[in-house]
Structure 1
C-alpha cells in the first residue's frame, strides 16, 4: 500500500522526505572551487617562508594566527627585515582596511554564540565574504557559514604547512608564484560580477586603479581603494536622490 499523501491540489507528496544535507557537507561543496585555489596559494606561502630563511614552522603560524592572505606574503619580508612593530601595524591596517566594509554586509547575525561570532569575525577573508554574501547564500545557517570559514582556513593552513615541508625539494625561483594571489582575486571579482552584473562597478574600479598607478605608483593600493570608496559613496548618494519614475 502506498504511503504517499495527496494535497488539496491533487499533488502527491512523500511523507518521509530525504534527510537534508548537513551543514558540513554543504560547506564542502561551497568551498570546493575556492579550496582548489587556497591550497596552492598556501603552498606558495610555505615555500616563500622557508626560502626567506625563516624556520618552517613560521608557515603554519602565519596561516593559523595571522590568516590574512596578501598580508602574510608582505609579512614575510617585514619579519626578515626586522621592520619596527609600528610600521608592521600600519601596513596591516592599510592592507586589510577593506575588511571594515565587508563587515557591513557579512551575515554575522546568523552565527550563534560568542566564541562562534569571534571566530567568524577573525576568519572573515575575501573568499569567505565572496561566498557568504551572494544571492544563493541568503538562507544559509550560521553553522554552514562557520564550517565554510573553518574549511577555507583549513585549506590555507594545510597548503602552507605542506609547502614549507617540501620547500627543500623546490627551486628558489618559481616564475609566476607572486601572481597567484592576484589571480585568485581576479577570479573572485569575475564571480562577483556574474552574480550581480553591475557594469559601472568594474569600470570604476579600473579607472581608480589606473589613476593611482600613474599618480602615486608607490602607494597604488591604498590610493586606488580610497578613490574607489569615494566613487561608490558618490554613486550611492546620487542614486538615492533619483526620484522613482523620473530617472
Structure 2
C-alpha cells in the first residue's frame, strides 16, 4: 500500500521589480536613438537652409525652440525668406500642425505628474516621440521615460541645427538642392503610407487639391492645397460614414 505523498505548493513566480526613475530615464534616451537618426540630419539641413536663405544664424536655435516642429520649420524658412504675410504664415502653421490635436487623444500625458513636465510634454509632442512611445507596451510606459525621450529628440534637433549653421559658415559655396528637403521628406512619408494602407482615394484627392491650387492661387498653392485637401477628406469621411447607416436601413 502506497502512501499519498503531500504535494508542496508551487513557488510563486518572481515578479520583476519596477524600474527606478534613473533606469526609466536611461530607457527613454535609448528609445530616442532610432528617431534621432532621422531628426539630426534634418536639423543640419535646417541650419544650412537658414544661412543660405540669408537669414541670421541665431534664427536656427530660436526657431527650433519656439516651434519645435521639423516639417513646419523647414517650410517656414522659405516663407520667411519670401516675406510671406503673417496671416498666411499663421494659417499655414494651423493647417500643418492640426494633426497634433488628434495625437492628444491617445498621447499618455496622464503619466506625467508634475505640471511643468506636463506642459513640456505637450510642447514637445512631435511625430517621432508619438510614434516611438506608441510602439512601447503599456506596462513599460512612464512619465520619466516619456520626458527623457522628448528631451533627447529636441536635443538632436537643436544640435543638428547648430551643426548645420557651423557647416554652412565653413563651406565656401552654398549646397544646392537643400530646399527640396521638405518636399522629399513628405514624398517619402506619402509613399510609405500608400504602400502600407493602399489609400488610392486619398492620393487622388491630394493630387486634385494640388492641381486646383496651382491653377487658382499659384502664389499660395501649398496653403490652398492643404485647406482643399482637408475639406475633401472631411467630405469623404462623411460619405463613407453614411453608407453603413443607409445599408442597415435598407436591410
What TM-score bracket applies, with the shorter chain setting the length?
0.7 to 0.9
Residues 211 and 41 of structure 1: CA distance in aligned 2, closer, same or farther (over 3 Å): same
Q: CA deviation at 1:169?
A: 3.0
Contact persistence 2:44–2:160 (CA under 8 A): yes
CA displacement 1:1-46 (0-9 Å, x = unmatched): xxxxxx94457x5688696681222122222111011000000000
Contact persistence 1:204–1:228 (CA under 8 A): no
The alignment yields a C-alpha RMSD, in angstroms, of 3.4
CA displacement 1:186-228 (0-9 Å, x = unmatched): 46984x899xx7x36x444323323323333423333224433
Q: Using the TM superposition, name which of 83-92 and 31-40 deviates more.
A: 83-92
Residues of 1 paired with 2:91 and 2:125: CA distance? 20
Residues of 2 paired with 1:103 and 1:241: CA distance? 32
Q: CA deviation at 1:176?
A: 5.7
Q: Which residue of 2 aligns with 1:104?
A: 105
Secondary structure, counterpart of 2:104 in structure 1: helix
Gaps (5+ residues) in structure 2?
A: 1-7, 215-220
Q: Using the TM superposition, name which of 80-89 and 147-156 deviates more.
A: 80-89
Q: Which residue of 2 aligns with 1:223?
A: 228
1:138 maps onto 2:130 in alignment: no
Gaps (5+ residues) in structure 1?
A: 1-6
Secondary structure, counterpart of 1:31 in structure 2: helix
Scaled by the length of structure 1, the TM-score of the pair is: 0.76
Q: CA deviation at 1:59?
A: 0.7
Q: Using the TM superposition, name which of 40-49 and 30-39 deviates more.
A: 30-39
Q: Which residue of 1 aligns with 2:4?
A: none
Contact persistence 1:44–1:163 (CA under 8 A): yes
More helix by share: 2
Q: Which residue of 1 aligns with 2:163?
A: 162
Contact persistence 1:42–1:156 (CA under 8 A): yes
Contact persistence 2:209–2:228 (CA under 8 A): yes
Residues of 2 paired with 1:185 and 1:129: CA distance? 20
Please point out which of 187, 190, 212 is paired with 2:209: 212
For the pair shown, the structure with the greater C-alpha radius of gyration is 2
Residues of 1 paired with 2:109 and 2:245: CA distance? 26
Q: Which residue of 1 aligns with 2:180?
A: 178
Residues 102 and 92 of structure 1: CA distance in aligned 2, closer, same or farther (over 3 Å): same
Q: CA deviation at 1:153?
A: 0.8
